[in-house]
Amino acid sequence: MRRYLIRKLITYVLAFFVGVTIDWGIPHLIPGDPIQGLLARFSQLDPASYAALYKTFAQSFGLNVSLWQQYLNFWKGLLTGNMGISISDDPNTVTSLVFGAMPYTLALLVPAVVLSYIVGNRLGAAAARRKLLDNTVLPLGYVFQAIPYPWLALVVPYLLGVVWHVFPISGAYSETLLPAWNWTFIASLLDHWFLPFLTVFIVSLGGWAIGMRNLVIYELENDSSRYLRALGASERVVRRYAYRSASLPQLSGLALALGVVIGGNIVTEIAFDYPGLGHLIYGAITSQDYFLLQGIFIFIVIGVLIANFIIDLVFITVDPRTRLSMQGAAA
Amino acid sequence: MSTAVSEILDEPKTPAVGRKRSDFVYYGLRNKKLVFGLGLELLLVLFAIIGPMLAKYGPQTLTGAQLHHPGGTYWLGTDSLGEDVYSQLANGIRESYLVGALGAVSAAVVGMTLGFTAGWRGGILDEVLQMVTNIIVMLPSLVLLVVIGSYLNSRSVLFEGVFIGLTTWPWVARAVRAQTFSLRSREFVEMAKLSGKRPLEIIVRDIAPNMASYLFLVVILLFGSSMLLAASYDFLGLGPSNTVSLGWMMNQATQNAALLYREWWWFVPPGAVLTAMVAALLVANVGLDEVFNPKLRQQ
Amino acid sequence: MSVSVQNLSVAYRSRRGDVTAVDNVSFALADGEIMGLAGESGSGKSTLGNALVYLDQRMKATGGTVTVDGRELPIADTRAMRPLRMTEVSLVPQYAMSALPPTRKIGKLMTDLLKSHRVGDQRAVMTELKRRLELIGLREDVLDKYSFELSGGMRQRVTIIMSTLLNPSLLIADEVTSALDVSTQRAVGEMLLEFRDRGFVKSVITITHDLAILAQIADSIAIMYAGRLAERASTDAIVNSPLHPYTQALIASLPEVGVRHDQVTLTGIPGRPPSLVSPPAGCRFRERCPFAFDKCTQTPPFVEIEPGHTVACWKASDERGAAAGRAGQEQAV
């Protein structure tokens, strides 16, 4: 088990390194001069002002030192929590902006992922044993899995917000309210939260249901299920064992699906004008706020690594083989 | 199991050359999922080819008739600039297929090469590839694409396709590597080695046919996910410049508050069609899997 | 008679129609008898054994009855069979290596099974379980382990213990020694004998293609060929005076320990068993039999040629008939 943990840790550390390096490296590898692009927004500059402004930007970008120094500076900034100041939202720091948006994203992401995982697994397992249920769950699951995030993020608010005025379609809370710890505010928060949550939930649901269904079907036909039946175990017991065996690969699937869900989350936030990280990214793109973009990327990478780590821990506690085996991860 | 009975029941676990092609065709035609999925997909591809030709206007031609409801001259209505939505849809479908294919092909090429090498050689090469794969899989691809793409000034369809492929190749590599690994030590490969065949020959002649079915399934899935990823990407405004795509349509609709103004014909068709395109692929994929693997057939 | 099988036929559903894997088989077992069911791959022996316990969706019983302890087994009715499994009939499967679910400790697995059978006094059974583990040399902590932590031999023995925990009247042991090394084979064989002697199981049908093992632990042997019973007799009779040409060829093809094969050529039986999709008419061994004659195109009946010795072969029954005739003549004279 120790070898397994060590291997995992190395992967995480390396992933972090790679993420940071890519993040730092992008502006330097892309053809074109980002500063020029920025300055293009300031029209009608005389050459002297242009040169002075260029120098200032170069300095704030840290481009006036050697490449290697820039890389180290980047690391320094990251480790001290100083990711610079947002270009578009001066004087707010990148860090403060990110931390401001993070709670909204987490409030959306975590319940959506967890609930879709749990509900999807139950549905899938149930569909695996009842043919009737299977005939509805399966096609629905495929359709849900195939829905592009932007589309659901448009159709859901259209139906539930515009056509039937059940929920609001944008913002985190009503514009007429000020943030406060009272029921009105919290109710408004939830009201605005529901549709984006529903969007992410639905798309993820299909994938889990189908995956679990296939796994359970496979397990129900394997040797241990046959043996249990031969020994007269009730079908309920057989199912329980199959479910247990199927849960393990599903769990590792969760870690892999995170990257996709985050992407979907971003899209949803933008469609709903929901002030999370995705929304922040969009703003950063349109205003070419590179500092902010790079900062957000790092935070997301860190978040994904932490989530992966948590899932790994859960996996270890749940899977007896990983817990007890003295060998490293099998090929 | 007994030989006499097993030759009837289970597909024998012999090399691909031993399996009867007629078996595939027989089960293939009878598999509802495969027939439905493939059929629907072919219809959509047909539409992608013919559709734009039937359009009366170019996708970005200003017709002067803004925000018309569907019907009459404008089959799917027009958008806020007066562009024909049907034309945009038809052309957008083409573009989606193109990007999807590019993505799937680039991911397949890179993934298969690396996967084969790692699975065949093993050792350090394999360890390194596994590490790289694990890392790339963890990094959220859309975010990466966003960060990189936002630095670029103009983007082409080719770029988008290849770009997407380069973030999804690890899935292919993993699958290929696992299969190569397990097949490498099978008897027929040992025999090929003993008979003095060169490694490349063994890969092409003996291993590839056995993996073909599995690889095919993986590539189909990649095709679908590429299309979805491209749609999200285009929706964020980072798609190919001056190109009409399904994601771009939805982006335009959002920017012009089509939701509020109930211009449903602008954003409902593109997503609905894309859902159909991907869903058909997924269903056909499952059907194909059932044809290849008898164990999955629920009778 | 403890176990009685009458005219049992079992078929597989396949794309090409039903394939009869077990064709009109009849035999009986006395209390405490260990019968070996032998035959080559594809003879139907596994199908026969498994059908007595669990008929899965692919199989169907197309005729015949099975009686255990005077009660008919409703083998075609999966639901009705459930309470009888493990308590009346039990199975040690061919895939014992992968039969134990990997996600549960062995002890918990046993209690789950007991609960499923609504066993009243679980504690007493668990105590008995520990006693039996000790008996065969397994430590009690096995119950606290997962299946993947056990070696192949241990898994096989644990499976046997699990299958016999509720003292079934009939135990089907399917290829229990095939995946093991010789010394473990011996240990498992002795385990079966011991369990029978102590009354943990009443009768045993042990399915195998390995006649050597049967020679050591079986009281009687039944030889199956292409879905039908060829011969059935005591172990001694089968080994020393087999009557069916197939059995004779089988015995003759066994390599003898100590004999070098530059002295004696190792013989097999040329040819292959017939396809069960469209079996040939008459005796199914006809094509490979050195003694086949024109009568063999008719199906030979499974008759008792000598007391306790049943054969399905025209040559054997004709010879006996001729011998009986001669004896009769001598008597008359």
What proportion of chain B, given as a percentage, has pLDDT over 70? 84
Interface test with B, best of C174, C207, C275 (most B CBs within 10 A): C275
Residue B230: burial class (beta carbons within 10 Å; 0-12, 13-18, 19+): buried
Q: How many CB atoms lie within 10 A of CB B35?
A: 15
Q: How many CB atoms lie within 10 A of CB A8?
A: 18
Which residues are paired to B71 by β-bridges?
Answer: B74
**Minimum Cα–Cα distance from C40: chain B residue:** B2
What are the phi and psi torsion angles at A43 (to 5°)?
Answer: -80, 160
The answer to whether B142 contacts A258, with C-beta atoms less than 8 Å apart, is no
The answer to whether C44 contacts B9, with C-beta atoms less than 8 Å apart, is no
**Whose structure tokens read 């390096």?**
A21
Q: Which residues of A touch C53 (CB under 8 A)?
A: 230
Please determine, for residue A118, whether its predicted confidence score (pLDDT) is greater than 90. yes
Q: Are the C-beta atoms of residues A261 and A204 closer than 8 Å to each other?
A: yes
- Which of B104, B101, B75 is closest to B89 using CA atoms? B75
Residue A250 gets the label, from left (phi > 0), alpha (psi -120 to 50) or beta, of: alpha
Interface test with C, best of A1, A221, A227 (most C CBs within 10 A): A227
pLDDT of residue B3: 37
The answer to whether B2 contacts C16, with C-beta atoms less than 8 Å apart, is no
Joined together, the tokens standing for residue A160 give 């539930």
Which residues are paired to C59 by β-bridges?
Answer: C12
Interface test with A, best of C116, C147, C159 (most A CBs within 10 A): C116
pLDDT tier, A33 (very low <50, low <70, confident <90, very high otherwise): low
Q: Which residues of B touch C56 (CB under 8 A)?
A: none
CATH class held by domain B23-296: mainly alpha
Q: B touches which chains (3+ CB pairs under 8 A)? A: A, C
The answer to whether B4 contacts C275, with C-beta atoms less than 8 Å apart, is yes
d(CA B93, CA B119): 37
Please give the single-letter amino acid code of residue B227: M
Q: Are the C-beta atoms of residues C115 and C104 closer than 8 Å to each other?
A: no
What proportion of chain B, given as a percentage, has pLDDT over 90? 18
Q: Where are the domains of chain B?
A: 23-296
Which residues are paired to C325 by β-bridges?
Answer: none
Q: Are the C-beta atoms of residues A323 and A317 closer than 8 Å to each other?
A: yes
pLDDT of residue A38: 66
**Lowest-pLDDT range of B247-251, C141-145, C175-179, C254-258:** C254-258
The whole model's pTM is what?
0.81
pLDDT of residue A61: 67
Residue of C15, C42, C274 lying closest to B5 (CB–CB): C42
d(CA B178, CA B116): 9
CA A137 and chain centroid, separation: 25
Rg (CA), chain A: 25
DSSP letter at B61? -
The H-assigned helical ranges of chain B are 3-6, 21-30, 32-54, 85-121, 123-138, 141-149, 157-184, 187-194, 199-202, 208-235, 246-255, 264-292
Joined together, the tokens standing for residue B4 give 């006499």
Residue of B150, B224, B251 lying closest to A146 (CB–CB): B224
**Whose structure tokens read 């309920």?**
A236
In this complex, is the C-beta atom of A306 within 8 Å of any C-beta atom belonging to chain B?
A: no
d(CA A321, CA B129): 24
Please determine, for residue A120, whether its predicted confidence score (pLDDT) is greater than 70. yes
Which residues are paired to A293 by β-bridges?
Answer: none
Residue of A23, A217, A259 lying closest to B298 (CB–CB): A217
Could you read off the pLDDT of C103-123 as tens digits, one per residue? 899 999 999 999 999 988 889
Query: What is the number of residues in chain B?
Result: 299
Q: Which residues 6+ apart lie within 8 Å of B184 measured at CB?
A: B119, B120, B207
Rg (CA), chain C: 21
pLDDT of residue B271: 92
Please determine, for residue A324, whether its predicted confidence score (pLDDT) is greater than 80. no
Please determine, for residue C43, whether its predicted confidence score (pLDDT) is greater than 60. yes
Residue of A223, A231, A234 lying closest to C163 (CB–CB): A231
Q: Comparing B224 with C321, which gets the higher pLDDT?
A: B224
**Minimum Cα–Cα distance from B294: chain A residue:** A218
Residue of A34, A150, A285 lying closest to B247 (CB–CB): A150
The answer to whether C58 contacts B8, with C-beta atoms less than 8 Å apart, is no
Q: Comparing A179 with A10, which gets the higher pLDDT?
A: A10
Please give the single-letter amino acid code of residue B170: P
- Which of C76, C85, C66 is closest to C4 using CA atoms? C66
Contacting A with CB below 8 Å, chain C residues are 50, 53-54, 56, 81-87, 90-91, 93, 95, 98-104, 112-113, 116-117, 146, 148-149, 159, 162-163
Q: Which residues 6+ apart lie within 8 Å of C333 measured at CB?
A: none
Residue A121: burial class (beta carbons within 10 Å; 0-12, 13-18, 19+): buried
pLDDT of residue C261: 65
What are the phi and psi torsion angles at B174 (to 5°)?
Answer: -60, -50
Please determine, for residue A31, whether its predicted confidence score (pLDDT) is greater than 80. no
- Which of A142, A123, A143 is closest to A133 using CA atoms? A123
Point out the residues of chain B with pLDDT beneath 50. Answer: 1-18, 299
Q: What is the least distance, in Å, from the CA of B145 to any CA of chain A?
A: 10
Q: What is the least distance, in Å, from the CA of C9 to any CA of chain B?
A: 15
Question: What ipTM does the predicted assembly reach?
Answer: 0.89
- Which of B104, B4, B40, B20 is closest to B291 using CA atoms? B20
**Whose structure tokens read 């380069």?**
B166
Q: How many CB atoms lie within 10 A of CB C301?
A: 11
Cis geometry, peptide bond prior to residue A91 (ω within 30 degrees of 0):
yes
Q: Which residues of B touch C175 (CB under 8 A)?
A: none
**Whose structure tokens read 């064709």?**
C23
HEC letters along chain C: CCEEEEEEEEEEEECCEEEEEEEEEEEEECCCCEEEEECCCCCCHHHHHHHCCCCCCCEEEEEEEEEECCEECCCCCHHHHHHHECCCEEEECCCHHHCCCCCCCHHHHHHHHHHHCCCCCHHHHHHHHHHHHHHCCCCHHHHHCCHHHCCHHHHHHHHHHHHHCCCCCEEEEECCCCCCCHHHHHHHHHHHHHHHHCCCCCEEEEEECCHHHHHHHCCEEEEEECCEEEEEEEHHHHHHCCCCHHHHHHHHHCCCCCCCCCCCCCCCCCCCCCCCCCCCCCCCCHHHCCCCCHHHHCCCCCEEEECCEEECCHHHHHHHHHHHHHHHHHHHC
Q: Which residues 6+ apart lie within 8 Å of B196 measured at CB?
A: none
Residue of A27, A149, A259 lying closest to B140 (CB–CB): A259
pLDDT tier, C15 (very low <50, low <70, confident <90, very high otherwise): confident
Q: How many CB atoms lie within 10 A of CB C161?
A: 22
The answer to whether B5 contacts C12, with C-beta atoms less than 8 Å apart, is yes
Q: Are the C-beta atoms of residues C242 and C251 closer than 8 Å to each other?
A: yes
Q: Which residues of C touch B299 (CB under 8 A)?
A: 57
The answer to whether B150 contacts A285, with C-beta atoms less than 8 Å apart, is yes
What proportion of chain C, given as a percentage, has pLDDT over 70? 95
d(CA A54, CA A47): 10
Touching C: A residues 225-254, CB under 8 Å: 226-234, 237, 241, 244-245, 248
Q: Which residues of A touch B96 (CB under 8 A)?
A: none
Please determine, for residue C93, whether its predicted confidence score (pLDDT) is greater than 80. yes
d(CA B86, CA B104): 27
pLDDT tier, C143 (very low <50, low <70, confident <90, very high otherwise): very high
